Amino acid sequence: MSKRLHLFEAYGVELEYMIVDKDSLEIKPIAEVLLTNDAGEIEGELEKGMTAWSNELVSHVLEMKSNGPTSDLTGLRTKFNADIAEANRLLAVKNAMLLSSAAHPWMNPSKETKLWQHDSQEIYHAYDRIFGCKGHGWSNLQSTHINLPFYDDEEFSKLHTAIRFMMPMIPALTAASPILDSKFTGYLDKRLYYYEKNQSKIPILTGKVVPERLFTKHAYQKHVYDKIAAAIKPFDTDNILKPVWLNSRGAMARFDRGAIEIRIVDIQECPGADLAIVALITELVKTLVKEKWVSFEVQQSFDTEDLHEVLKGSVRNASQYEVTNADYLKAWGLSGSVTGGEFWQMVHEKLSANTALIEWNELLKTLISKGTLAERIMQALAGDYSREHLKEVYSGVAKSLQSDELFMP
């Protein structure tokens, strides 16, 4: 976000999609087909009016994103759908298409990973040299990123506090990565399981995924970016990797853009689902910033460790996760034991009259009542993880992407 915006003036949204063979659903590392300009040159990013297409790290993934901040999620949905149709037309020449969901169900990263060989390749090769990027946590994962703006330290403090307080519950709404290596992983959001462990060689890069209690630019610089710079120095001898790129907390402060980027949302089956979720998460954060449900002091009081424990539960069990942390439930005005699904049902019921949610309410009702995409995929698979059955179910997910409709077993 280049221009400094105030809280909730706009969104930045990024969606990541796999490129696969239309018939076999095997991954196809041919993002160059989609990132070739009119002069026949391959670029790392192509502007498409309201949106832009780009690549990061691996050649079988395309990122579609808002071309700068926008306040128009409806227009963005329409444009993303047009972009998906255009991408699929271009890929059809290679018998390929886009596939949604947060992980390929049988990709073998150690054999099939192909790093991007064009713009910024030196960055990706540095990552690969230090961390080894031929694994599920690096090359087999797709997510939705939500960028929310802040103007100054006061706005940063409110926004960062609200996001870190609510983010442990996000996977209970958005988990979409239950299958790897042709079997159930034991986690409905296995992408986030790997997300935390990706860079364990240098723990400061990711921390506990839930950010620390930091509320000013100065404090964040001192406790996150300065520590990252010191930790990476022995590994990055060519001085290629910047701390702002290396910060992998689930919500990252980008002071250069004046935004916080939420990175723990698994990508859904279609833009309608993704943008409905963006709208709901944003409205919840907005409510917390305004202290309508929970005071700033209470939000701020939770240790990162406690919030991390809640996150781990929703990563494993999504909407079926039983939240038992009495202090966390009390802060939300809840008691006893509440599942992730019940939590989001409560949130949606309270916020559904908000103007920003009215057009998304039917989608959200269905999403929350039918369970996360991961749970719907598991229901469709019904314990049969044969290649043919996986292909049948994930072909249905691909059709949902093309028609912008929810995937239902």
Is the full-model pTM beyond 0.95? yes
- Is 409 a domain residue? no
> What is the predicted pLDDT for the residue at 402?
98
| Among the listed residues 300, 355, 10, the one whose alpha carbon sits nearest the alpha carbon of residue 150 | 10
> What is the predicted pLDDT for the residue at 1?
45
Cα distance between residue 305 and residue 302, in whole Å: 8
Task: State the residue for tokens 């698979």.
Answer: 381
Q: CB neighbours (10 Å) of residue 199?
A: 20
Cα distance between residue 212 and residue 101, in whole Å: 29
Q: Which helix (H) or strand (E) holds 289?
A: helix 271-289
- Is 355 a domain residue? yes
The residue type found at 63 is: E
- Is 91 a domain residue? yes
Q: What is the number of domains present in the chain?
A: 1
Task: State the residue for tokens 């519950």.
Answer: 169
- Is 370 a domain residue? yes
Cα distance between residue 342 and residue 324, in whole Å: 13
> What is the predicted pLDDT for the residue at 2?
52
- Is 294 a domain residue? yes
List C-alpha distances in Å: 234 to 153, 159, 202, 203, 223: 32, 34, 11, 14, 19
> What is the predicted pLDDT for the residue at 57?
83
- Is 231 a domain residue? yes
Contact status, residue 279 vs residue 347, Cβ threshold 8 Å = no
- Is 2 a domain residue? no
DSSP H helices, 183-268, are 190-197, 217-220, 226-232, 243-246
Tokens of 361: 């309410």
Domain range for 114: 12-400
- Is 280 a domain residue? yes
* CATH number assigned to the domain comprising residue 17: 3.30.590.20
pLDDT, block means (10 residues), the chain with 409 residues: 84 98 98 95 95 92 97 98 98 98 97 83 78 83 97 98 98 98 98 90 93 96 96 91 91 96 98 98 98 98 98 98 97 95 98 98 98 98 98 98 97
